[in-house]
Amino acid sequence: MQKVEVLDAKTKEQLCFLDKVDPHSTIGDIKSLFYKSYPQWYPARQALRLESKGKSLRDDEILQNLPVGTTATMYFKDLGPQLGWTTVFFAEYIGALLTYLLFFFRVPYIYSHTYAFTSSPHPVVTLACVCHTFHYMKRLMETIFVHRFSHGTMPLRTIIKNCAYYWGFSAWLAYYINHPLYTPPSYGELQIKYALITFAMCEMGNLSIHMSLSNLRVDGFRVRRFPMPTKNPFTWLFFFVSCPNYTYEVGAWMSFTVMTQVLPVAIYTLFGFIQMTIWAKGKHRAYIREFKDYPSVRMAIIPLIL
């Protein structure tokens, strides 16, 4: 049996002393024991570390494999309120989807009252609504049926930030696309048709990558692997980039920009691109660090460039 003392990471004050812990226990088990003494800190809120400012231990790490003596000293940090990913994504995506529809149906008090519940004479406006709705419905379905998230939860402050981002931008895009004075794209049907084709391809590509990532975890979270192209041609982008799901996501929004020819859509695409590039570069660096045989030709998000 092993002893575990848990100290507050900030004050170094002892919060708990567990004197009979099975050495095969995981960090997740220790969090559950700690939770018994502190019911306000459910396991998902807890971060346990071996150094007060070090890296948080993963829930699946085993006590006897850690570099500790007979008494393991761990530092506790409260991560604050947490929400499950499915709840978070429902709030983000359903919010974005419904906000857009308010503008599409021109509910009163958005545009002049003479336009209340009228529809646009331009077919591209309806097509844009179908594409936007499809995009978020797809992401909702992926959240339920495809993704296997490693973090069980998300911080409450992240959901507030993400909802502001998605709902705010959805309203802004929808306002202009569904505006009674909206003018269709300069090159008419040809522009719309090509944009629709690339949009559909990018959506299929994005789904294919999400399925590949999910398949990496079919046998649980323990085996560490990096993603590889499969027989599905949409996954061949893995030959060139570490995060093709982001490449396809940016492609879908670029197509939507060409389809609607609306400046706020281009601005939203740019914001998404910047955010995804930051994440992709971080993940790319992590893959290179972890896997010595990582393909050197791969870039983070844009083949051969970025």
Ligand X SMILES: NC(=O)C1=CN([C@@H]2O[C@H](COP(=O)(O)OP(=O)(O)OC[C@H]3O[C@@H](n4cnc5c(N)ncnc54)[C@H](OP(=O)(O)O)[C@@H]3O)[C@@H](O)[C@H]2O)C=CC1
Give the binding site for ligand X (CB under 6 A).
Answer: 147-151, 206, 213, 216-217, 226-227, 243, 245-246, 249, 272, 275-276, 279
* Residue nearest to ligand X according to CB distances in the complex: 272
Out of ligand X, ligand L3CPSR6R, none, what residue 161 binds, judged by CB under 5 to 8 A for its kind, is: ligand L3CPSR6R
β pairing state of 153-155 and 2-8: unpaired
Going by C-alpha positions, the residue among 207, 174, 153 that lies closest to residue 96 is: 174
Helices 244-260 + 123-145 axis angle, to 10: 160
- Give me 305's structure tokens: 């460039």
Out of ligand L3CPSR6R, ligand X, none, what residue 249 binds, judged by CB under 5 to 8 A for its kind, is: ligand X
Residue ranges that bind ligand L3CPSR6R, judged by CB under 6 A:
47, 56, 77, 79-80, 82, 92, 151, 153-155, 158, 161-162, 164-165, 168-169, 172, 275
**Please, what is the end-to-end C-alpha distance for the chain in angstroms?**
51
Out of ligand L3CPSR6R, ligand X, none, what residue 277 binds, judged by CB under 5 to 8 A for its kind, is: none
Question: DSSP code of 280?
Answer: H
Amino acid in the structure at residue 180: P
Going by C-alpha positions, the residue among 247, 129, 134, 259 that lies closest to residue 195 is: 259
Out of ligand L3CPSR6R, ligand X, none, what residue 285 binds, judged by CB under 5 to 8 A for its kind, is: none
Amino acid in the structure at residue 63: L
Shortest distance in whole angstroms from residue 292 CB to ligand X: 16
Shortest distance in whole angstroms from residue 123 CB to ligand L3CPSR6R: 27
Out of ligand X, ligand L3CPSR6R, none, what residue 245 binds, judged by CB under 5 to 8 A for its kind, is: ligand X
User: Which residues share a beta bridge with 105?
Assistant: none
Residue recorded with tokens 């045989």: 293
Shortest distance in whole angstroms from residue 60 CB to ligand X: 13
